Structure 1
Amino acid sequence: MDRLLPHLAPTSDESAPLLLAVTGMGGVGKTALALESAHRARAEGWFPGGFLFVDLRGYDDDPATADQAVVALLDALGVRGSDLPPTTARQYDTFRTLLAQRHDRTLLILDNASDPSQYLPLLPGTDHHRVLITSRERPDALPVRVIALEALDPDESAALITRALHYADERDDRPTREPDALHELTALCGHLPLALQIAAATLRRRRHRHEGIASLVEEIRAAGDPTTALDNGSPGTDLYGRSLVLRPVLETSYHRLREDRARLLRLLSLAPDSETTTEAVAALADADTTSVLAPLEYLAAAHLVTPVRDDRAQGSMPRWRLHDLVRAYGMSVVAGDAGLRREGEAARQRVLALYVRWADAATHRLRRVAGGQDSQGRFVTRQKALEWLDRERAGLVAAVRWAAEEPFTAAAVELASHLAMYLEWRRFFDDWITVAGIARSAAHRSGDRIAEARAWDHLGIAMRDTGRAKEAVDAHTRALALFRTSGGHAGEARSWNNLGLALLSARRLKEAASAHTQALELFRAVGDRLGEADAWGSLGISLGAAGRPEEALTALARARDLYQAVGDRLGEANAWANLAFAQRDARRMNEAIEAYGRSLEIFEEFENWYGAGQTLEHLAMIHEAVGARDQARAHYLRACDAFTLADAPDRATRARAAAAALA
C-alpha cells in the first residue's frame, strides 16, 4: 500500500500520473490493494467525491465490454431507467460530461481488465479525477504509473495465515506450535495471497478436529499439485464476494495465451529449476535465443514469468523465473495429455544435452591454465567457466535428478560425472553427495556397471572430504569390485588409489600404503602416467603418515616429476604442497618454504583459493615455528583472504584468529 497510496494524494505537480495500474499474476491481491487504498484515500479526504468501481471480469468466460461498463458507471452516478441515453455514443458523452462537471475529486476503479479496449473508452476527459486499473497484464502502451505486485515474502506469508487464524479464534496457537510446518505451508502456497487465504480458511474450518498445520502440508504434498489440493478445501468466497479458487485463476491466464506462448509456458514449467536462462529456454523450445525473447517478454508482461537480471553476468540475457504455482499448473497440463508429455520429454532431452555439453566444456576449462578456450569456444577464461557453473548449479543438480526417469538416465548420469570436479573445487559436498548418489542408483538400474562404479568413487571422495571415512572406504570398495568385474582396469587403479586415501583418513595406515602400491602397479600396467603420478603422491602421503619420511620424500618427488612431465599443473601444485609437508616433518624448513611457494604460485594461477588458503596456512605455521612472527601473521591474513574467496568462512575465521594471536 505504501507504493500506491502516495500516488493517490492530491498534488500540484502537473507531471503526477492521472492513470495508475496495479498489475500482477492472478491471486496476488490486486483488487484488495486497490479497494483498501481507495478506502484509505477517501478517509484522508483526498476523494470527497468517493470512488466508482466496476469489475470488468477480464478473465471470465464472458468479460464485460466498455459499453456494458459505462452503463454500470452511469447507474452508479444516478443515471438509469428513462434517464439513460438511448445510444452508446450518447452514454459515453453523458458519462464524460458528468465527470467533467463533478467538482468533488473522484477515483474511478476499473478492476480486472484484460484488454485495453475494456477501459480506454471509459477514461474521463479531465485531469481532475484519478483512474486506477487492475490487470494481470502490464499496460505498456499507455502513459501510466504501474505498481507491479509480487508474491509476499516468507515472513509476510506466515503473518497472513497467523492473523487469519487468530481472527477466527484467538486461542488458535497452531502457528506458534508448528512454526516449521507454517513456513512449509506458505512455501507450498508460493507465498501467493489467494493461495494463503484458501489455506488459512481450510485450517479455520478444521480447528475443531484438532488437526495441525502439518496435516494440511501432508495433504498438499501427497496431491502433488498444490492448486488441486488447495481448491479441494476452498471455503467459497472472500470479503468481496469473489470465489476463493486457485486453479481457475491460472487456467484463465493460460487459455488466453496464443498457442506459441502457451507452448513456451508449458515447456518452461518442465525446466529443472525455477529460474532458467534464455539459452536453456531456447533449448526447451527447440529454437534460437532471439526467437524466444519476444514470447518471453509477453509472458513477463502478463506476469506469468519474471525476468531476472544477473549482476554477475554483465550484458547477458536475463534469466526467467516461474512462480511455483504457475510451474505446478503447467506441469499438470503436460501430465494430462499424451501428446504434450511426448513434447515435454523431447524438450527435457534437449536442455539436458545442453547442460551436458556446457558442463563438460566448463570442467575441461577448469583443468587448464590461462590462455585459449574450451573446445566448444564458450569459456575464454577459467573464471567464466566457474561463473557459469555457479549460476547454473541449482539447475544442473536438479537436472541430475531426472536420472530417476527414462529416457533421461544416461545423460543425467553423464552430467553428474562432469560436475564432480566443480563441486569438489567449490566444496559443495552436499550437492556432490546428492548427484553422486542419484547417478549411482540410476546407473545400477540401467545396468551400466562402469558408470555405477565411477559414481561410487565420486561418492566416496565426497564422503572422505566431509569426514565420513568409514563410509568412504565402503564406497570405494564397492567401486573397486564393480571395476574388477567390468574390466575397467584404469578405473580399478583409480579406485585402489581412492580407497587408499579413505583408509588413510580412517588411520588404517598399512592398508592405505598397500592400496596405493596396488594402484601404482595397475597404472604402470596400463601406461597411465597421470594415474601413476596420482598413485606416487598418495603413496608418499601414506608413507609419511606411517613414519617413513625418507621413503615419503622419494615418492612425493616422483609424483611431482611425473606431473611436470605430463603437464598437469594442478597435480603439480598438490605434489609441491605434499612434498613441502613431508619436508617440514623432516625439519627441512627452507626446502619446505620453497616448495610451498611453488605450490601457492600454481594454486593462485588457477584461482583455486581453497588450495591457496591451505598452502598459506602451512607457510604461516612454518614461519611461526622458526620465530618469524611478522611473516607468519602476514601469511595467516593472506590465508584468510583466500578462504573468503573460496567461500570457506570457518577456515577464514580460524586464519584471522591465528593472525590476531600473533599481533
Structure 2
Amino acid sequence: MQVNFRTLSAWRQHPRQAPKKEHHAFVLVMVAYMADKAKRRNSTYVPRPTGWWRDLLRQLRAENDGRRGGRPPAAKTDAPAGLGSLPRRPANFTGRRDQLAQLLEQLEPSFEPDSDKPTLTTIAGMGGVGKTTLAVEAAHQAASRGWFPGDVLFADLKENASGDNSDVGSVLDRFLRDVGIKVKDVPPDDEGRIALWHAHLRKRAAEQQPVLIVLDNIHEPKLARELRPDPPHRMVVTSRQTLSTLPARPLPLKPFTSSESLELLDVTLRAAQPSDDRISVHHNDATELAELCGHLPLALHIVSALLRDEPDRPLADQVAELAEARTRLDVLAYDDEQGRPLAVRAAFDVSYRRLPPEVARTFRLLSCTPGADMSTQAVSALLDRPAPSARRVAAALLRAHLLEKHPGERWAMHDLVRIFSVEQGTVCADQDERKAATERLFKYYLTVAEAAQAHLDPAGIKTSASSAPGLFATGADALAWLEQERSVLVAVAVTAAPLGHHDISYLLSRVLVTFLQLRRHLDDWVLVAKIACTLSTQLGDLALCIDDVANLGVALGNKGEHAEALKTLEYAARGFTALRQPAGAAGTVIERSSVLCRMGNYQEALEAAQEAQRMLEHLDDERRMALAKHAEGLALRHLGQAANALDAHTAGEKSFDRTRDPRGTAVSMNSRGIALRHQGKLQEALAVHRAAAEAMAQLEDPQGQAVALHGMGQVYLLMEEYDQAVEVLSRVHHVMAENEDPVLAASAIYHRGMAHQGLGNWDAALHDFDLAVANFREIGDNSRFEAVQSQRGATLARQAMVQFQQGAFLEDHQRSGEAAAAFEQAAHQAQKSAETFRELDDTEREAAMLAFHEESLARARRAALPAERTDQPTTGRT
C-alpha cells in the first residue's frame, strides 16, 4: 500500500513520469480503490478527496507542459476568467464565526435538505464585505472533513457576470471537463451540457460521492438555477445582489463588528511580525481606525497591509491620513501578494456600473443629504417623484447592497459607499441636476419643520408661506417627527448656507428653537442659535440680529455657560434699547434673572426680576410680565421666602392663563406647588403638582410632565407615603430615559432611593444612590454629587447599625452563628460607609464608622465563640 502511494507522490518529484491526461480517470479510480483498501485494513492513511488528487494531476501536467519549451499554448477565450479549482484557503481567517457555523451546518452531510432547507446557500453583501473569503473557507473546511469526495468545483464569475446563456455554457464546459468528461463527449449546445451535468451529478449521488459547487460573484440567478444540484450535493453562491428568486437559504453579510475588526487587524499584523502590538496597546487609535474603514473587511485588509509595510508607523498617523473623507478611498488601495490591485473604490465601482441609469442617478443623489439617513418621504422630495416610485428605486439599491434599510422606513449608506457616491455625484452633478435636487430636499425639511413647529408653538414665528400645517394630526405626531429627524434637521441648518442656501439655513435655525428648547437638546440649541446670529449679521438686519443674540443668550444659560450667557444677554439688552424696543430689553433682563438663579446668586436674580417688572409696568405685555413674576418667585423661594414666592407664582400663573399660554400656566402651576411644599402645605402641593402633570400630558410635553411628577414624588416623600413616591419617581425615570435631561433623571433616581430607604429596602436604596452618584459625577454637578454621596454613606451607616442590632438580638437568643454573620455584615457596611465619607473628606464621620467597623468585627469574633459569651446584653451605638 505504502509503495503505491509513494509512487503517486513521486510524480511530483519526477514530472516526466506524470500520467498523461487520458490516464487521469484511471489514476483516480486506482486512488479510490487503494483508499478503500487502506480503510478496511485499519491503516493510518488519511484519504484525500478526489478534488485534491485532480488538482495534483492538473498541476503535474502543467509542470510537464512548462518543461517542454516553445511558445506556451494560447489562452482559451471561450470560458470566463477565474474558473477552475478552489482558491487557496484564506490566510489568518478571522471573524464570521456565526456565519461560518451556519454555512457548515448547511454543508454537513447529515443535513437533510427539503423545501425549507434547500441544497443552495446564497451569500450576499456589499463589495469588499468578505463573501468570497467566507465561501472559500467553508469549502476548504468541508473538503478537509471529507464531506465532498465527489469533487469541489469553483467558478469566479466577476469578469463575466451578465448571466446570459454563454455563461451557463462556458461554466458547464469547464466543469464537465474538470470532472473527467472528455472534450469530444461534451455537447456543443447548452441544453445538452445541462443534461449531461445533471446526469453526472446523479451518477455521483448513486456512488455516494457528493459534490460541492461554489459559484462566486454571480449577478443574475439564472446560472445558479441551471446548475443547482439535488441532494446530497450542495451549492454555495456569492453575489452583490440579493437573489431572492432562488430557492436558497440566504446568508446576508454585513461589515464586521468592532471586535471582529480589531481582531482582524491584530491577527494580520502579528502574522507578519509577532511582536507587533500596535492594535492591543493603542486601543483607542485602533478603534478609530476600524471605524474609518467602516469595519469593511477589504478596507481593513488594505490598512493592515499598509501598516505591515511600516512596522514603526504609529496608528495615529494612519488614522490622520484616513480622516480626510475626500482622499480616504485613495488611501484604501493596495496590490496583493500576486500583484492584483485591491481597492475599495474598485469594489464599489463593480456594483455601481451594473445599475440601470435611473437607479445609478438615485445612488448619486442620495449623498446630497447631510444626515445619516433619510425617510422615504425625503427621498421622494429629493428625486421629485411620488413616494411609491422613490421607494422602488431605493429598494433596487438595497438589493444591490449599495443602500441599507433602517427601522422606520429609513435609508442609509455605509460611510465608504457614501464617499464613493459623493465622488460619482460630483462628476455627474450637471446631468443629475444635483443642485436643484439638494434645494428640493432642504426645502422639504424646512416646510415640514415649520408645520411641526406650528403645533408646538401656535403663536410662534411664521417663517415661510410654504408651510403645510395639515401634515400632522397632533402635537405628539409633530414632536415625534422632529425627534426622529433632529440630527438631519440640524445638519441641514449647518450645511445649507455653505452650499448657497442661506435663507433655508437661517429660517430652519429659527424654526428649530422651540423644539430644541422644549426637549432640552442644549448642544443643538446653542449650535443653531449661533448659526442664526451669524446669518442675520450677514443679512444686515439689526432687529433680527439682536433677537437672535438674545436667543443665543438663553440657550447658553440653559446649557450652563453662565458667564457667556450673561455677556450675550447684556449685549442683546443694549441692542433692544438702541432699537427702542423696551419689551425686548425687559425680556433679556428676565433671562438674566434665570441665569443668576442657576448660578446661585439669588439676591441678584430677585433684583433683576423686579427690575424687569418695573420696565414692563407701562407696557401692554402681560406674557413677559408673567415670566418676570415667575422669575421673581424662583428667586424668593431660594431665598427662603416661601410665602412671597407663593404670591409671585400665583400672580404669574394668572397672567399666563389670561394670555392663553397653557404651557406657561402649567410651568407656573408646578412652581406654585413647590412653594406650597416649602410652606408645609403638602396636600395642597400634591394636588397642584398633579394638575400640572395632567396639563403637561395634555400638551404632549413629556419633559414638563416629568418635572411635575418629580414634584409629586418629593411631596409623597415628605408625607412618608414611600410606596407612592417609588411609583411616581419610577415614572419620572422612565420618561427621562427617552428624553435628554440628565439632571432631572439623576434627581429622580436619588429621591427614589430615599423612598426605598424609608421602606427599609436597603439594597434598592443603595442601588439608586449609586446610579445617582454616577450620573451627577458624569454631568459635573459636584454639589449634588456630594449630597447624594453623603446620603449614600449615611444609608450604609444605618444599614450597618440595623445589622448590628440584629446580631445583638440573635446573640441574646443563643443563635451564635447567625449573630456572627450579622455582625460581619455590619462591619462590611460600616467599612463601605467609612470609604464613602473618606471620599467626601468628612473625617469625623469616617472615624466614627471605622470605630464602628472594629467594634462589629470584635462582636463577630465573640459571637463565634459561644463559650466565652457574657450574659450582658449589648445594644448598638449611634
One of 104, 107, 110 as aligned partner of 1:5: 104
One of 355, 360, 369 as aligned partner of 1:257: 355
- What corresponds to 1:299 in structure 2? 397
- Structure 1 residues 525 and 33, CA, compared in 2 at 3 Å: closer, same or farther? farther
- What corresponds to 2:20 in structure 1? none
Distance, in Å, in 1 between the alignment partners of 2:709 and 2:188 is 89
Decide whether the 8 Å contact of 1:225 with 1:329 is kept in 2: no
Deviation of 1:158 after TM superposition, in Å, equals 1.5
Q: Give the alignment of 1:159-558 within 5 angstroms.
A: 159-207=263-311, 210-222=312-324, 224-231=326-333, 234=334, 236-237=335-336, 243-310=341-408, 318-339=409-430, 343-367=433-457, 376-447=469-540, 449-450=542-543, 452-484=545-577, 491-517=584-610, 519-520=612-613, 527-545=620-638, 551-558=644-651
Distance, in Å, in 2 between the alignment partners of 1:193 and 1:526 is 68
- Structure 1 residues 640 and 482, CA, compared in 2 at 3 Å: closer, same or farther? farther
CA shift digits 1:204-240 (9 cap, x unpaired) = 1111xx2111111111123534222212xx2x1268x
Helix, strand or coil for the counterpart of 1:143? coil
Decide whether the 8 Å contact of 1:413 with 1:451 is kept in 2: no
Q: What stretches of structure 1 of length at least 5 have no aligned partner?
A: 311-317
Normalising to structure 2: TM-score of the pair?
0.67
Distance, in Å, in 2 between the alignment partners of 1:598 and 1:86 is 87
One of 632, 636, 646 as aligned partner of 2:736: 646
Q: What stretches of structure 2 of length at least 5 have no aligned partner?
A: 1-99, 460-466, 760-878
Deviation of 1:106 after TM superposition, in Å, equals 0.5
Distance, in Å, in 1 between the alignment partners of 2:615 and 2:429 is 51
CA shift digits 1:263-316 (9 cap, x unpaired) = 111121222322211011111111221111211111111111122233xxxxxx
Deviation of 1:197 after TM superposition, in Å, equals 0.9
- Structure 1 residues 282 and 520, CA, compared in 2 at 3 Å: closer, same or farther? farther
CA shift digits 1:523-563 (9 cap, x unpaired) = 56663332332222223323444566555444322211111
Decide whether the 8 Å contact of 1:58 with 1:113 is kept in 2: no
Distance, in Å, in 2 between the alignment partners of 1:623 and 1:94 is 84
Distance, in Å, in 2 between the alignment partners of 1:253 and 1:446 is 46
Letter in 2 for 1:572: T
Deviation of 1:251 after TM superposition, in Å, equals 1.5
Deviation of 1:404 after TM superposition, in Å, equals 4.8
One of 113, 136, 141 as aligned partner of 2:240: 136
Decide whether the 8 Å contact of 1:560 with 1:572 is kept in 2: yes
One of 547, 552, 577 as aligned partner of 2:670: 577
- Structure 1 residues 85 and 643, CA, compared in 2 at 3 Å: closer, same or farther? closer
Helix, strand or coil for the counterpart of 1:132? strand
**More displaced, 80-89 or 179-188?**
80-89
Helix, strand or coil for the counterpart of 1:114? coil
In the alignment, does 2:753 pair up with 1:657?
Answer: yes
Helix, strand or coil for the counterpart of 1:25? coil
Distance, in Å, in 1 between the alignment partners of 2:190 and 2:689 is 88
Distance, in Å, in 2 between the alignment partners of 1:110 and 1:486 is 76
- Structure 1 residues 99 and 596, CA, compared in 2 at 3 Å: closer, same or farther? closer
Deviation of 1:387 after TM superposition, in Å, equals 2.3
Deviation of 1:520 after TM superposition, in Å, equals 4.1
- Structure 1 residues 620 and 133, CA, compared in 2 at 3 Å: closer, same or farther? closer
Helix, strand or coil for the counterpart of 1:571? helix
Deviation of 1:122 after TM superposition, in Å, equals 3.6
Decide whether the 8 Å contact of 1:609 with 1:643 is kept in 2: no
CA shift digits 1:73-113 (9 cap, x unpaired) = 23322346656555555444443433332231001111111
- What corresponds to 2:689 in structure 1? 596
Letter in 2 for 1:268: L
Distance, in Å, in 2 between the alignment partners of 1:245 and 1:547 is 70
Distance, in Å, in 1 between the alignment partners of 2:544 and 2:147 is 71
Decide whether the 8 Å contact of 2:161 with 2:219 is kept in 1: no
In the alignment, does 2:169 pair up with 1:67?
Answer: yes
Distance, in Å, in 2 between the alignment partners of 1:425 and 1:54 is 60
Deviation of 1:47 after TM superposition, in Å, equals 1.3
- Structure 1 residues 127 and 219, CA, compared in 2 at 3 Å: closer, same or farther? same
Deviation of 1:28 after TM superposition, in Å, equals 0.8
One of 587, 590, 605 as aligned partner of 2:698: 605
- Structure 1 residues 549 and 93, CA, compared in 2 at 3 Å: closer, same or farther? closer
Helix, strand or coil for the counterpart of 2:512? helix
Decide whether the 8 Å contact of 1:223 with 1:229 is kept in 2: no
**More displaced, 251-260 or 419-428?**
419-428
Distance, in Å, in 1 between the alignment partners of 2:114 and 2:645 is 83
Distance, in Å, in 2 between the alignment partners of 1:485 and 1:67 is 86
**More displaced, 587-596 or 395-404?**
587-596
Work out which of the two has the higher radius of gyration on C-alpha atoms and give 1 or 2.
2
Instruction: Find runs of 4+ consecutive structure 1 residues off by over 6 angstroms.
Output: 59-64
Normalising to structure 1: TM-score of the pair?
0.88
CA RMSD, 1 decimal: 3.1
Q: Give the alignment of 1:6-21 within 5 angstroms.
A: 6-10=105-109, 11-15=111-115, 16-21=117-122
Deviation of 1:242 after TM superposition, in Å, equals 5.6
Deviation of 1:469 after TM superposition, in Å, equals 2.1
**Identity over aligned pairs, percent:** 30
CA shift digits 1:373-419 (9 cap, x unpaired) = x9622332333233222322222222222145132333223323333
Paired residues in the alignment total: 641
- Structure 1 residues 134 and 524, CA, compared in 2 at 3 Å: closer, same or farther? farther
Decide whether the 8 Å contact of 2:212 with 2:233 is kept in 1: yes
